[in-house]
Copies of this chain bind each other. A is one copy, B any other.
Amino acid sequence: MTVRGRIDKRAAILAAAAEVFTREGYGQAGVDVIAAEAGVAKPTVYNHFGDKETLFREAIAAEADRVLAEHLAVVDQLRDGDDLRAALENVAHHMLVCHCEERSVALRRLLNAELGRFPDLIDIVRGRAADRVTDALADRLARLALAGRLRRLDPTQAAEQFLALLTGPIEARSRLGTRRVADDELWAVARAAVDTFLRAFAA
């Protein structure tokens, strides 16, 4: 098999693993199912990843990378401008959209689910997702404060709270991700969050 073929197989296995693990959970996911969905034989999975646990970790890491990239791209859009509220609302809404994406929901679910068995997943994911987003957002908020658009604040804490005001209500309303939330409800949550945030943090 060509090198390219080998790489393809590895990627196919990872994709299938992400799919199956998020759909069924670690325990319930069968390696045969993953292999079948990837179009390879079961031992090929073992040749590439050694055992189910390793496959699981790598699949999680890959998913976390993807989710992180999306979120960072959103935070990156937050630029100072004439209308700070509008800018924040746009970012807030966009983050909610990402947050509610199926793969995003599934990853958070899976992570939560298996943290008991694999506590180190936190380290795999933290450096790749949650904290990095908070940090990036904190950076932006710091610059906005420096620019006099926000009052003096603890950037990390403010970023934490901004994100909390977004994701907290949406978790409730999406029934922990089991229900689709309509776009106007996303906008409503985003606006409410930004309103509260600005009341508390506007310069």
Contact = CB atoms under 8 A, between A and B. Distances in A.
Contact of A165 (B22, B114, B168): B168
Nearest to A160: B169
B172 A131 contact: yes
A44 interface: no
Name the residue in A110, A163, A175, A192 with the highest tally of chain B Cβ atoms < 10 Å from its Cβ: A175
A177 B117 contact: no
Interface in A144-203: 154, 157, 160-161, 163-165, 167-169, 172, 175-178, 192-193, 195-197, 199-201
B176 A168 contact: no
Nearest to A130: B172
Given A157-B192, A163-B168, A165-B168, A24 B116 contact: yes
A161 B196 contact: yes
Nearest to A122: B175
B177 A115 contact: yes
A48 interface: no
A172 B200 contact: no
A69 interface: no
Contacts of A195: 200
B113 A178 contact: no
A104 interface: no
B176 A122 contact: yes
User: Most chain-B CB neighbours within 10 Å: which of A23, A164, A193?
Assistant: A164
Contacts of A193: 161
Contacts of A109: 112-113, 115-116
Interface of A: 22-28, 106, 108-117, 119, 122, 126, 130-131, 134, 154, 157, 160-161, 163-165, 167-169, 172, 175-178, 192-193, 195-197, 199-201
14 contacts: A25-B114, A112-B176, A115-B178, A119-B178, A122-B175, A122-B178, A130-B172, A160-B168, A161-B192, A164-B165, A196-B196, A196-B200, A196-B201, A197-B200
